[in-house]
Amino acid sequence: FGYDDAPEGHCEVIYENVRVPASNIIAGWGRGFEVIQGRLGPGRIHHCMRSIGIAQRALDLMLERVTDERKKPFGKLLADHGTVVADIAKSRAEIESARLLVLSAAYQIDQFKAKGALKEIGIAKFVVPNMALQVVDRAMQVHGA
């Protein structure tokens, strides 16, 4: 469940013999790694928000599928099967829980900068991708995959 980023994909850029004027150096000479590290936390939160969006779309598609009048396995809507309803409820609860984790981490970043939110960022990064995979898998199962 990764990103292909088609049609361009990813690339590598190599700079050779490049000079940067001292006035254009961010944060000072030799502090590039520090600047990059400062952006990792917010970047991780961005990826988590994107994963929540993917999970939400999977849930939306699942809801469309289970209420489709043209699809009635065993003579009734999938929405009338208890296990399907349980999967929908579980998915919804997991998405909302993950969303609150990410919002909490974002709030901590706003209040205390990324260094003060390392715990919250780490928890979100641990929980959200796993949640998204579970929700997408359930949506696939409802679609017959």
Q: Is the pTM of this model over 0.85?
A: no
Q: Which residue from 142, 145, 144, 143 is spatially nearest to 83, judged by alpha carbons?
A: 142
Higher pLDDT: 11 or 92? It is 92
CATH superfamily of 38-142: Butyryl-CoA Dehydrogenase, subunit A, domain 3 (1.20.140.10)
The 8-class DSSP code of residue 70 comes to: T
For residue 26, the model assigns a pLDDT of: 87
Determine if residue 90 is left, alpha or beta; phi over 0 gives left, psi from -120 to 50 gives alpha, anything else beta. alpha
Give the residue with greater pLDDT, 16 vs 10: 16
Least confident of 51-55, 82-86, 111-115: 111-115
How large is the average pLDDT for residues 61-88? 95
CA distance 109 to 87: 33
Mean residue pLDDT of the chain comes to 92
pLDDT at 8 > cutoff 80: no
pLDDT in tens, 94-140: 999 999 999 999 999 999 999 899 999 999 999 999 999 999 999 99
Angle (nearest 5°) at CA 122 between 118 and 125? 140
Domain ranges of the chain: 38-142
pLDDT at 1: 46
CB-CB neighbours of 24 under 10 Å: 6
